[in-house]
Structure 1
Amino acid sequence: MREYSATDLANKTGDVLAAAAREEVEITRHGKPRYVIMSHERFERLIARGDTRQAFRNEDLSEEAAAEIIAALEESLKDE
């Protein structure tokens, strides 16, 4: 899995997305893994496979679920 920093994502978006088209890409903040970007096709294969992990499309989340995820992300950023 390729690794890019959040700064790389901001400054080299095209490069990061091109890499994500080939394989999963890990995005780090302050050297810690925070996010994974993958192609839509890979995401669909994970969903179809019935993987035990959960993945959601943003538009499929309820407002309550989205608020919980945002709160968890904000809390994790406080630790940095």
Structure 2
Amino acid sequence: MRQFRTGDLNKQVGDVTDAASREPVVLTRHNKPGFVLMSYGHYERMRTGADARRAHSVSDMPKEHEELFCEAIERPARGEGYDDEP
């Protein structure tokens, strides 16, 4: 979780809110955590317990997704996927 000082809100409001749109951020005052800033969507999911994100096992995914997943995992072993990425 990223941290910003409360004074950063005035100077870097774009950076702070961009970070908070991705994940909650801690706002510190005098080097002590004081507040948490997060997107409204994250707050609603946390408040209602309606977070639809779930972890799945490979055995549960559709065959075409499993093939794409396995191919992506094998690319680095073949030396691909590092320097050739756009």
**TM-score for both structures, normalised by structure 2:** 0.55
Alpha-carbon deviations, 1:23-56, whole Å to 9, x = none?
1010000100000000011000011118xxxxxx
Where does structure 1 differ by over 6 angstroms across 4 or more consecutive aligned residues?
Answer: none
Aligned-pair identity in percent equals 44
Aligned counterpart, 1:41 = 41
Aligned counterpart, 1:30 = 30
- How many residue pairs get matched? 50
Higher Cα radius of gyration? 2
Matches of 1:47 and 1:30, distance apart in 2: 29
SS in structure 2 opposite 1:33?
A: strand
Aligned counterpart, 1:60 = none
Where do 5+ consecutive residues of structure 1 fail to align?
Answer: 51-80
1:11 aligns with 2:20: no
Where do 5+ consecutive residues of structure 2 fail to align?
Answer: 51-86
Ranked by relative contact order (alpha carbons within 8 Å, sequence separation 6 or more), the top structure is 1
